[in-house]
Amino acid sequence: MHNYEGVYITGKWRAGSGERIEVHSPADSSVLGHVTEATSDDVDAAVQSARDAGASGPWARASKSDRSAAIGRLADEIQARSSAFADVVSAEVGSPRKWSSFGQIGVAIGVLRSYQKITDEFAFDDTRPSATGGEVLVQRLPVGVVGAILPWNAPVFTAALKLAPALAAGCTVVLKPSPEAPLGVSMLTEAIEASGLPDGVINIVSGGVATGEALVANSGVDKISFTGSTAAGKQIGAACAADVRRCVLELGGKSAAIVLDDVVLDAETVGGLVTGVMANNGQICVAQTRILVPRNRYEEVIDALASAVRQMKIGDPADRATQIGPVVNRAARDRIESAVARAKSDGARIVTGGARPDGFDAGWFVTPTIVADVENNAEIAREELFGPVAVVIAYSHEDDAVALANDSKYGLAAAVWSTDRSRAARVAARLRVGSVSVNSPGPIDFGSPFGGFKQSGIGREGGPEGISAFVEPRSIIL
């Protein structure tokens, strides 16, 4: 059991006045632990703690080399506890344990390591010639207190994506984990304290919608960084706009994987296409759930995908042999099943999956599913399902594939698969998305910007651009 009483403010757990939130395993509904829901008063105290730490004390005086070293120490402490972190996140999210070691915790450490280096190289001050003679000193100052609202699907990774650039810029942070997965984020306090970060630089308030609303509404928060649904992102963006406060929104996706007509369907390619959809049980924002295939190879690709998917092992996420664990809760399972059923009733072909797996009545399991004979305007091809379901869509020629990929309200990520890397790169350059991988299912690079076009969000995380999102430029004209 992992129990965290109260709220984490100014370097210690304090008693909170909110209700207890029990965290249940999506695999068998057992209780994994609990946290305390932060009230608006708790949020006020956390924000004040962050403001105080940013205005005075060691963090306010820290140089960029100091901040870089602090980020590195935080990475060290997470790495020292990486197995325990992976166990907890696997249990509360349902991530297969073998995948969570890298896809949940390894990538979080990678983000921090990258920012340790990027911080040292980032130009927080530069002098340039003035247009009217003399010089101008341009300073990049911390934006202030950051309210970071996290999703449940990758809690520690997304915490790192927000913490690392914010700390690099000299900001202080109030983290708000999802009520579905607060335990891994609460565990971060052990690493935070061991790393020697000053008290109040990172504060943690757990809770649901009301806690998030209190954080967004707090006038002491200078910037909100949110990862989650597009619907919630719209509300947060509107609230920030009303007060002219900054925000970064990393929202939904319905990403496409374009299979070009020259592709070789070897084990690596088929495995990459399947991973692009099914990683973390399909519960990742960049999941490439629309697989676009040339008509003259349509059935060949479907057969290869279906064969690979049928062999995936469904099971207990703690078992390192498991490839597909449960989705996060009953509502998620029911939503996914309903979407697949509607697609079938509309004429789609369920190639494999589409029913609950046998022997898993205690948890929220969904059989990995391939849906064929789907048009790009179908509901199942338009809306984000957040589960292990891929739709395979036929295209006629390369221009058609690009048009289909871009025909979405989202624009987060994509992939292009081809034996000709130069050709694939040319196709990738035509896609209206934030990142594209070539012959790989992973469209995220730790040292590069990540974020979306259109309704996939505003702003970028990752790389030097991630730090730029947490600074305010100031010009001193000499």
Based on the fold, state whether residues 179 and 235 are members of the same structural domain.
yes
Same domain, 139 and 269: no
Q: Considering the domain boundaries, does residue 22 fall inside one?
A: yes
Which tokens in the block code for residue 333?
């399972």
Whether 138 and 164 map to the same domain: the answer is: yes
Q: Dmax of the chain from CA atoms? A: 77
Q: What pLDDT is recorded for position 113?
A: 98
Task: Let me know whether 113 and 146 are in one domain.
Answer: yes
Question: Are residues 461 and 411 located together in one domain of the fold?
Answer: no
Sheet containing 349-352: order of strands: 349-352, 369-372, 389-395, 290-294, 256-259, 413-417, 435-438
Which pLDDT does position 17 carry in this prediction? 84
The pTM for the full model equals: 0.96
Q: Which residues on adjacent β-strands are paired with residue 350?
A: 371
Active site residue 383: no
pLDDT per position in the chain (478 positions), as tens? 899 999 999 999 999 889 999 999 999 999 999 999 999 999 999 999 999 999 998 999 999 999 999 999 999 999 999 999 999 999 999 999 999 999 999 999 999 999 999 999 999 999 999 988 899 999 999 999 999 999 999 999 999 999 999 999 999 999 999 999 999 999 999 999 999 999 999 999 999 999 999 999 999 999 999 999 999 999 999 999 999 999 999 999 999 999 999 999 999 999 999 999 999 999 999 999 999 999 999 999 999 999 999 999 999 999 999 999 999 999 999 999 999 999 999 999 999 999 899 989 899 999 999 999 999 999 999 999 999 999 999 999 999 999 999 999 999 999 999 999 999 999 999 999 999 999 999 888 999 999 999 999 999 999 999 999 999 999 999 9
Q: Which of 171, 240, 285, 384 is catalytic?
A: 285
Closest CA to 256 of 454, 103, 396, 390: 390
Which pLDDT does position 16 carry in this prediction?
A: 86
Q: Are residues 223 and 372 in the same domain?
A: no
In the chain, how many domains are there? 2
Residue 83 vs residues 24, 107, 401, 420: alpha-carbon distances, Å: 20, 13, 42, 39
Question: Can you read off the two tokens belonging to residue 431?
Answer: 């896609």
Strands 471-477 and 135-142, sheet pairing:
antiparallel
Question: Are 366 and 261 within one domain?
Answer: yes
pLDDT at residue 361, as a whole number? 86
Question: Inter-axis angle of helices 298-310 and 267-278, to 10 degrees?
Answer: 70
Q: Assign residue 116 the CATH number of its domain.
A: 3.40.605.10
Which domain covers residue 185, as residue numbers? 2-251+456-477
State how far the Cα of 362 lies from the Cα of 28, in Å rounded to an integer.
5
Tell me, yes or no, whether 82 and 217 share the same domain.
Answer: yes
Q: Which of 250, 337, 384, 461 is catalytic?
A: 250
Does the annotation mark 285 as catalytic? yes
The answer to whether the beta carbons of residues 150 and 175 sit under 8 Å apart is yes
